[in-house]
Amino acid sequence: MQLEYRKIFKQAYEIVKNNKFLWIFGLFLVWGNLLNFSYVSQNQQSSSSLPVPTDLIIFKNHPFLGNFILLLILFLVFQLILLFFRARAANIIAVKAILEKQETSFIKALRVGGLFNLRLLGVTVLMQILLLVLAFLIVSPIFYLFSLKFFIRAIILSILGLIIFIPVSIVTTLINFLSPMFVTMYDFKIGEAIKRSFELISQSWPTLLVFSFLLLCLMILSVILSLLLAGLAVSPFVLLAYLAYHRGGSTVGLGLTIFSIVFGSIVFFVTQAVVAVFQQTAWILAFLQLIKPQIFEQEEVLPAPEIVS
């Protein structure tokens, strides 16, 4: 089945423009993406041996305090992760209610989103574990061949590994986009949501790939435009800071510089929040178009949650 791409993007734009409370969900979605990015960056740097700062010696001398602070940080990070998935579920619930012309709001949708955030987290965790296990199985023999200086065999195995890993990573990414809709709209459990998502991907993978590519292009363009918009917004303050520095007003110049950075960051993240909501809304519209021909015979389709009725 072919998607009406232009209609989807236009309708998503109208929904996001006319329901600005959805932008708040976008802030949580952007925050979750930043948290995931920082986690990946930290993993990449973990292999390098860095000296322990002298400020952290206190934690070495007081292990109870260090363990307590570590547990507190982990707890807060976990709560932020749950909030990210709750916002994703709430955004799906709110958009579905808007499409069905039902009453909804930020608070109502967020309250019901709490019923699904653990399942959405479970889907993501399972997909990440799958990728990690697959990557380990592929990379281990490659490193072993390199250690034995069988370079040709290692390169050939690397190419074969990429041929396997890239399609699997694409499928898991699509499952991460589609499963939340099955969970929140049909109250499916984790396993059933993944199964239904995989079936939908196997039936409509060319359409989903094209749709994903179009969204990716829009997202890249949006990042560039957000940076330009943030730059234009802070340019007067940057100019004033430059003039203040050259006229001896270092304190004023420093204040304007800090204000420029903060204000520019706010502009950038707010625009990215709108973009994140647009992306999620577009996926919801595409999902609803794709499942129209499907009939769920064995599972009874549940009505929309009370929150949006």
Residue 57's pLDDT band (cuts 50, 70, 90): low
Q: Counting Cβ atoms within 10 Å, is residue 293 exposed (0-12), middle (13-18) or buried (19+)?
A: exposed
Q: How confident is the model at residue 62 (pLDDT cuts 50, 70, 90)?
A: low
Q: Which pLDDT band holds residue 248 (cuts at 50, 70, 90)?
A: low
Phi and psi dihedrals of 103, rounded to 5?
-75, 135
- Measure the CA dihedral 104/109/110/116, to 10°: 180
Q: Is the pLDDT of residue 147 over 80?
A: yes
Buried-state track 187-202, b at ≥16 Cβ within 10 A, e below 16: bbebeebbebbbebbe
Give the model confidence (pLDDT) of 183-237 as tens digits: 999 999 999 999 999 999 999 999 999 999 999 999 899 889 988 988 888 888 7
pLDDT attached to residue 301:
43
Quick one: pLDDT at residue 277? 93
pLDDT band at 60 (very low <50, low <70, confident <90, very high): low
Contact 308, 103 (CB under 8 A): yes
| The predicted structure's pLDDT at residue 38 | 46
Can you tell me the mean pLDDT for 281-307? 65
Q: Which of 22-31, 130-139, 167-176 comes out lowest in average pLDDT? A: 22-31
Mean pLDDT of the chain, nearest integer: 83
Band the pLDDT of 112: cuts 50, 70, 90: very high
pLDDT digits (tens, 9 = 90+) for 265-287: 888 888 989 999 999 999 999 99
Determine the average pLDDT of the residues in 44-52: 43
Burial 29-52 (b: 16+ CB within 10 A, else e): bbbbeeeeeeeeeeeeeeeeeeee
The tokens describing 126, both together, are 């399972």
Tell me the residue length of the chain: 309
Q: Structure pTM? A: 0.79
CA 257 to each of CA 77, 226, 248, 269: distance values in angstroms, whole numbers, following the listed order: 30, 19, 15, 18
Burial of 288 (0-12, 13-18, 19+ CB in 10 A): middle
Q: pLDDT: is 307 or 223 the higher one?
A: 223
Residue 135: pLDDT over 80: yes
Predicted local confidence at residue 300, as pLDDT: 45
DSSP 8-state assignment for residue 4:
-
**In sequence order, what are the residues at sequence separation of 6 or more whose Cβ sits closer than 8 angstroms to the Cβ of residue 67?**
none
* Least-confidence region, from 11-20, 231-240, 287-296: 287-296
**Region label for 228, one of left (φ > 0), alpha (ψ between -120 and 50) or beta (otherwise):** alpha
Work out the end-to-end distance of the chain between its first and last CA atoms, rounded to an integer number of angstroms: 30
